[in-house]
Amino acid sequence: MSKFGPEINAEKAAFIHPTALMYGRITLGEGSSLWPYSVIRAESKEVTIGEHTNIQDFVMIHIGDTTGTHIGAHCSITHHCTIHGCTIGDNCLIGINTTIMDGCVIGDNCIIAGHSFLKEGTIIPDNSIVMGTPGKVVRTQNNYVKCRANAFMYYRNALAYSKGEHREWSSEDCMQALNLEISKLQQD
């Protein structure tokens, strides 16, 4: 981890792809993962990423002029997202190619649909499904199980990738573990 600099705290991450880049003050939670070509920069503020959160391929995370970037636990930040100076709660799924700008606050258990754009200062309540440009709440429902299950699968994949195994999702053991995890989550 030292190749990233002294203010990077990533010792408990499950997997960091060799092409991932981190600069500045960044904390990755236990079991989190950074996938190919993800980039995190925190030159003046701080970026924090919660436990078991996955930052997928080509995601760009940066701080705002006056705000750090904080992503909760058990989140999936999917391919090609731009996350800029905002706060994302726990158990969220941010869809492919979404942009979330400075000062936005996303509640817990939210799904932000792919290709959405959340303009500066947008506030999204817990349990929201958001779509559009600019992004608006289109429905309210508890997305806890769905979002946690997605993060669980990425955590399993991260552990496999850290051992050089790239077909975790095709294994019967993985599918059984997912079904068991969903059952437990539904009881929460």
pLDDT of residue 5: 78
Asked whether the predicted pLDDT for residue 42 surpasses 60, the reply is yes
pLDDT bin (cut points 50, 70, 90) of residue 6 is confident
Q: Is residue 168 part of a domain?
A: no
Kindly state the average pLDDT of the residues 42-54: 97
For residue 95, tell me if it sits in a domain: yes
pLDDT surpassing 60 at residue 1: no
Overall size of the chain counted in residues:
188
In a domain, 163, yes or no: no
Q: How many CB atoms lie within 10 A of CB 183?
A: 10
Three-state DSSP at 130 gives strand
- 7: amino acid identity, one letter: E
How many folded domains does the chain comprise?
1
Residue 174 lies in a domain: no
In a domain, 88, yes or no: yes
- 77 within some domain: yes
**Run of H or E including 182:** helix 172-187
Which CATH number do you get for residue 39?
2.160.10.10
Amino acid making up residue 67: T
Going by pLDDT thresholds of 50, 70 and 90, the confidence category of residue 4 is: confident
Domain containing 111 equals 2-140
Name the strand (E) or helix (H) holding 46: strand 39-49
| Residue 149 belongs to a domain | no
160: in domain: no
Dist. CA 54–CA 125, nearest whole Å: 22
pTM of the complete model beyond 0.75: yes
Q: What is the mean pLDDT of residues 75-82?
A: 98
Instruction: Judge whether 57 and 35 are in contact, CB under 8 Å.
Output: yes
User: Which residues of 73-188 form beta strands (DSSP E)?
Assistant: 76-77, 82-84, 87-88, 93-94, 99-100, 105-106, 111-112, 117-118, 123-124, 128-131, 136-140
Would you say 106 and 89 are in contact if contact means Cβ atoms under 8 Å apart?
Answer: yes
Q: Does residue 3 register a pLDDT over 80?
A: no
